[in-house]
Chains A and B, each alone.
Chain A
């Protein structure tokens, strides 16, 4: 069953047209531009969902600590991108974040909360850098920033909602399978980013 699922996921990935750089930028400013930015990057989507999934899987306090830590640290990464600080391997870091977080969910890893927060925070820097570096010039910075922060938060909530299925045995399997899919998607992006 698991093998079949993974094979299916791999097949979908192979036929899916994936851009070399997932964060293409929406090219528009304002709230809609910012809101759509994380949603246009599939690698970003899976990593954000993984944060929520893992938080839900770990339960309290991780279920709310991780979605709080992520945007705050992401803002730090965004500042680096905005001021033009070059972060080597940012796209690789984003892909690795999907792999690592997906594996954490798949393996049902339960590290101490500070380790989970550190891991999520470290990856948030790469995601924030990508958003900050691609902030369209002349856009309404407040609306754009609020848009992409809210979109990121909603992706976390999506992951949390799905992760709450882990309360039931069958749901636990589904959540762990989702972790495998996320890790596979991350691996696909890594292979394109390297």
Chain B
């Protein structure tokens, strides 16, 4: 039981400890937090995440998920920086892609299937919690200067994601 809990905790911390995941979740959280309708985007993310975790549990092979995730993060953070809202379905699609990519980029390193599944569940919970936290904070930014601050942070996230993509693709 304690090993399962430990595996769960490892998964829980995974989105925070993997910088690419944290970067993408922060960008997406800022994006969702600034939308008028937040629930559909969060649900899309959760659906993508669940789909990706299921695929990992079914032992899907290696995917270019890290590259897709960073490209998605650069796009989403770029939208935050430019304060340009795409059509709502496009926003949902970006959220779903981020969820799926984070899941597919989180294959567990566990000795047993049970521990692996516990890690995957932890990853799902951790990623969702971080996204909700950031989006809730971003939603509280209602003053003009706060929203400008979010745009500046969005530009930092987009720039970081673009640079890392270049490193990975060179």
* Chain A residues near B (Cβ < 8 Å): 64, 67-69, 71-72, 74-76, 78-79, 82-84, 132, 135, 140-143, 145-146, 149-150, 153
Contacts and interface: CB of A to CB of B under 8 A. Distances in A.
B148 to A, nearest CB: 4
Grouping DSSP codes into helix (H, G, I), strand (E, B) and loop, the B interface class, with mixed when no group exceeds half, is: helix
Contact of A149 (B20, B156, B166, B168): B156
B137 interface: no
Nearest to B148: A64
A75 B163 contact: yes
5 contacts: A68-B151, A75-B160, A75-B163, A78-B162, A132-B166
Given A67-B152, A75-B163, A149-B159, 13 more contacts: A69-B155, A72-B158, A72-B159, A75-B159, A78-B159, A82-B167, A135-B167, A141-B163, A141-B167, A141-B168, A145-B159, A146-B23, A146-B160
B155 A71 contact: yes
Give the 10 A-B residue pairs with the shortest CB-CB distance, closest first: A142-B19, A75-B159, A71-B159, A145-B163, A141-B167, A75-B162, A79-B166, A82-B166, A145-B160, A64-B148
Grouping DSSP codes into helix (H, G, I), strand (E, B) and loop, the A interface class, with mixed when no group exceeds half, is: helix
Nearest to A139: B167
Interface string B131-170: 0000000000000000010011011101110111011101
A146 B23 CA distance: 9
Q: How many B residues are at the interface, by size bracket? A: 20 to 34
Contacts of B155: 67-69, 71-72
Contacts of B154: 68
Contact of A153 (B23, B156, B162, B168): B156
Interface of B: 19-20, 23, 78, 81-82, 148, 151-152, 154-156, 158-160, 162-164, 166-168, 170
B151 A64 contact: yes
A78 B162 CA distance: 9
B146 to A, nearest CB: 12
A146 to B, nearest CB: 5
Contact of B166 (A69, A78, A153): A78
B156 A82 contact: no
Contacts of A69: 155
A140 B78 contact: no
